[in-house]
């Protein structure tokens, strides 16, 4: 109990009048006596001493390291490591961010890691999707331009998960160096087609006028009928239409969604059934699935190109496969049976079998009505 008045006094005094050594020697005793319910007091005291060099103050160093172990893996751990420049904790900072990507201190953990020179370790973690996925969003929250050099390579790695690459776009665009890098990738023709829509959308909202202007030149937003510009994605998903008019649009010959999709018992069983699509996808995903169908191809609906003996080719979705044959589902719902003895090779296509540019045959209002209709198709 005798240590508490000392802590109270020290809180009210300038550090010039309160010796770090005296303070830490006192509350180090408190730590040993009542660690569980006094840790927050110790952390507060440490924050008042964060400018001290612990290497020249053994008592302070001992107390800092003791508190560090008690908060390891918790949000306060990041603060202690940062405040006392514990550069040997780089691996622990990275592990904290991976394990706690939604913690408010996840971004601070990665920012501290970068300040400590841990870019190489972070780069290694970003090389694998399993460790990259939880790190990408907190990296964007750091606001550190150095993330451009870490995330732009991920954007360009077409063999990586599309979800990871899309997340990398959303994060890297939040710093100016990253936004400029995305513009340059598009200008050089090195931006994958499955990222063009999301990149154009994200760049259209950046706060740097010159970057936004350059992006509009190399990545123009999708156009509606008559070359009218659709609103940015963020605005488009806020618009509301008429689902009854949207049902009519869905069945228009120039749109012809019904020729590839089932809604209830109506339509063709070729692409994914849409009877409950409004339950499965939100408005943003529905808009993106039309404007950029290759960005999220559903499992089992990947298109395949087959080369056959004699020079012929076959194209479609694989409906089934046995040791003797492959059955392809063709647009319109018919089947094409290929004997395996006739097949020379096969290649999975990176682009969706759904045509791109569907919105170009619609007005903005018709497009919004179509989205309203799709959003209304929900599980009873």
CATH code: domain of residue 312: 2.30.30.100
Same domain, 94 and 159: yes
What pLDDT is stored for residue 26 in this prediction? 52
Structure tokens at 195: 């990222």
Same domain, 122 and 166: yes
What pLDDT is stored for residue 50 in this prediction? 74
Is 293 inside a domain boundary? no
What pLDDT is stored for residue 39 in this prediction? 66
The CATH number linked to 126 is 1.25.10
**Taking the chain (380 residues) in consecutive chunks of 10 residues, what is each chunk's mean pLDDT?**
41 41 48 54 70 80 86 92 93 97 95 96 97 96 95 95 92 96 96 88 89 91 84 86 95 89 90 92 89 74 88 88 91 87 89 81 94 92
Same domain, 174 and 274: no
- Burial environment of residue 271 by CB neighbours within 10 A (0 to 12, 13 to 18, 19 or more): buried
The rounded distance, in Å, linking the Cα atoms of 87 and 144 is 18
Same domain, 70 and 214: yes
Same domain, 63 and 141: yes
Structure tokens at 57: 């103050």
Is 191 inside a domain boundary? yes
Domain that holds residue 332: 303-348
Is 294 inside a domain boundary? no
Same domain, 159 and 79: yes
Same domain, 23 and 152: yes
Same domain, 42 and 173: yes
Same domain, 140 and 269: no
Place of tokens 């063009």: 196
Same domain, 111 and 185: yes
Is 41 inside a domain boundary? yes
Is 241 inside a domain boundary? yes
Q: What burial letters (b/e) apply to 124-149, b meaning 16+ CB within 10 Å?
A: ebbeeeebbbbbbbbbbbbebebbbe
Is 223 inside a domain boundary? no
Structure tokens at 46: 């440490």
What pLDDT is stored for residue 275 in this prediction? 93
Alpha carbons within 13 angstroms on the beta-carbon side of residue 183 total: 19
Same domain, 139 and 250: no
What pLDDT is stored for residue 116 in this prediction? 96
The rounded distance, in Å, linking the Cα atoms of 291 and 356 is 7
Same domain, 203 and 272: no
What pLDDT is stored for residue 143 in this prediction? 93
Number of domains in the chain: 3
Is 69 inside a domain boundary? yes
Look up the pTM and report it: 0.69
Is 295 inside a domain boundary? no
Pinpoint the alpha helices (H) of the chain.
Answer: 3-12, 20-33, 35-47, 58-71, 75-83, 90-99, 106-115, 119-126, 129-142, 147-156, 162-172, 176-187, 196-203, 209-218, 233-236, 243-250, 277-280, 283-291, 364-376
């Amino acid at each position: 109990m005798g240590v508490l008045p000392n802590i109270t006094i020290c809180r009210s005094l300038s550090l010039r009048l309160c010796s770090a050594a005296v303070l830490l020697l006192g509350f180090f005793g408190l730590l040993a006596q009542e660690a569980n319910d006094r840790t927050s007091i110790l952390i507060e005291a440490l924050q008042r001493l964060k400018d001290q060099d612990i290497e020249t103050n053994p008592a302070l160093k001992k107390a800092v390291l003791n508190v560090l172990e008690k908060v390891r893996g918790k949000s306060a751990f990041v603060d202690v490591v940062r405040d006392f420049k514990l550069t040997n904790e780089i691996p622990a900072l990275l592990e904290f961010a991976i394990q706690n990507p939604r913690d408010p201190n996840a971004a601070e953990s990665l920012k501290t890691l970068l300040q400590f020179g841990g870019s190489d370790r972070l780069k290694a973690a970003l090389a694998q999707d399993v460790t990259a996925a939880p790190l990408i969003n907190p990296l964007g929250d750091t606001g550190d331009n150095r993330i451009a050099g870490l995330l732009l390579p991920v954007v360009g790695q077409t063999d990586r998960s599309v979800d990871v690459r899309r997340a990398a776009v959303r994060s890297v665009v939040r710093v100016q160096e990253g936004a400029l890098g995305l513009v340059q990738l598009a200008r050089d023709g090195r931006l994958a087609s499955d990222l063009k829509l999301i990149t154009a959308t994200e760049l259209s909202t950046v706060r740097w006028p010159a970057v936004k202007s350059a992006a509009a030149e190399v990545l123009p937003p999708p156009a509606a009928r008559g070359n009218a510009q659709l609103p940015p994605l963020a605005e488009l998903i806020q618009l509301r239409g008429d689902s009854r008019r949207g049902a009519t649009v869905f069945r228009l010959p120039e749109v012809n969604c019904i020729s590839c999709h089932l809604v209830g018992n109506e339509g063709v069983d070729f692409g994914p059934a849409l009877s409950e699509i409004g339950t499965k996808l939100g408005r943003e995903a529905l808009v993106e699935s039309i404007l950029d169908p290759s960005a999220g191809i559903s499992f089992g609906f990947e298109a395949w190109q087959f080369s056959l003996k004699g020079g012929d080719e076959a194209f479609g979705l694989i409906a089934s496969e046995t040791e003797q044959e492959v059955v392809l589902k063709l647009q319109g719902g018919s089947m094409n049976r290929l004997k395996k003895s006739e097949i020379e090779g096969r290649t999975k296509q990176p682009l969706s079998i759904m045509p791109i540019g569907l919105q170009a045959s619609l007005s903005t209002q018709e497009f919004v009505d179509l989205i309203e209709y799709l959003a209304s198709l929900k599980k009873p």
